[in-house]
Amino acid sequence: MPHPLPACPLTLPLPAAAAALTLPPRTLLLVEDSRLAAEAVRLICRRLAIRLRRADTLSSADLHLRVYRPDIVLIDLGLPDGSGLDLIAALDHGPMRPRRLLAISGDAGLEGAALAAGADAFLLKPLSLARHLGALLGAASPAGTDLAGIDRVLGLLPGGTRGARNAGADPLALRDDLRLVRDLLTGPADPARLSYAGQFLASIGSAMQDEALAQQARAATARGDRAALVALARGHEPVDPLFQGDPLC
């Protein structure tokens, strides 16, 4: 089901980049299965005063789009019930195409397919204001603003004020994503579940700017190595300082 989140006022010295447009965007639908990746989008939307709604599957996105008409639709390409490319193509050829139709993925090799499906732009994870503000809004990024500095304050880059552990990742969102990976790999062997769990874990690595994790997850998925994927997920569990190094999971 869609997850509504209220719009929040600007709290950082970011110019009103969205307001500078003739028709500034007011709503964004994020179709994303990762809580960790969704948190980055939430932080950016807060700073741009854009109302965010989230769907974590294609089916819930369809339910949402029957009711709401977002200005921007940002679609992850690897979803539990299909490919985001199909939703992009459907929206691009449909009667209610959003003003900005965007693809996001941790796999740079999917850019061509996303653009061919009808996306206005392809955003490579991890998401940040410095790299992606212009593509999100369909306008040039504002000059004279330290967007990278704002990214660090938001925790979207390593070394931000939220701490360097896990590249500033929200530990609860990261915990939930890693739990999902392990749950998918529990029970009888299922090649489809292993493939989805592997690409999901690689996407987590991209969102954390941990290219080693992303590459190891892709390699283990290609081998069909369920044990290696479980070990990778366990090895990246966030640490809860209240319990002297015990994983939050």
| Domain containing residue 98: CATH number | 3.40.50.2300
* Domain finish residue from 131, 154, 177: 154
- Contact criterion met (CB below 8 Å) for 77 and 84: yes
Pairing outcome for strands 3-5 and 51-55: antiparallel
243 assigned to some structural domain = no
75 assigned to some structural domain = yes
Domain count within the chain: 2
Q: Please state the rounded mean pLDDT for residues 109-131.
A: 94
Q: Are residues 92 and 124 in the same domain?
A: yes
User: Looking at the predicted structure, is the pLDDT value of residue 35 above 80?
Assistant: yes
Q: Please state the rounded mean pLDDT for residues 21-39.
A: 84
Q: Are residues 147 and 206 in the same domain?
A: no
Query: Which pLDDT score, from 0 to 100, does residue 153 have?
Result: 72
* Domain finish residue from 123, 154, 185: 154
247 assigned to some structural domain = no
Higher pLDDT, 93 or 164: 93
CA gap 199, 181 in Å, rounded: 10
- Structural domain range at position 184: 167-238
Query: Which pLDDT score, from 0 to 100, does residue 146 have?
Result: 73
Amino acid present at 108: A
122 assigned to some structural domain = yes
Among 137, 144, 108, CA closest to 24: 137
Query: Which pLDDT score, from 0 to 100, does residue 238 have?
Result: 79
Q: Are residues 27 and 76 in the same domain?
A: yes
* Domain finish residue from 124, 154, 184: 154
Q: Which two tokens stand for residue 160?
A: 């931000």
User: Looking at the predicted structure, is the pLDDT value of residue 5 above 80?
Assistant: no
Task: Identify the sign of the CA torsion 53, 56, 62, 63.
Answer: negative
CA gap 149, 168 in Å, rounded: 14
192 assigned to some structural domain = yes
160 assigned to some structural domain = no
pLDDT in tens, 79-110: 999 999 999 999 999 998 999 999 999 999 99
| Stated pTM of the model | 0.81
Cross-sheet strand order for the sheet of 51-55: 3-5, 51-55, 27-31, 72-76, 100-105, 121-124
Q: Are residues 14 and 73 in the same domain?
A: yes
Q: In terms of C-beta density within 10 A (0-12 exposed, 13-18 middle, 19 or more buried), how is residue 200 classed?
A: buried
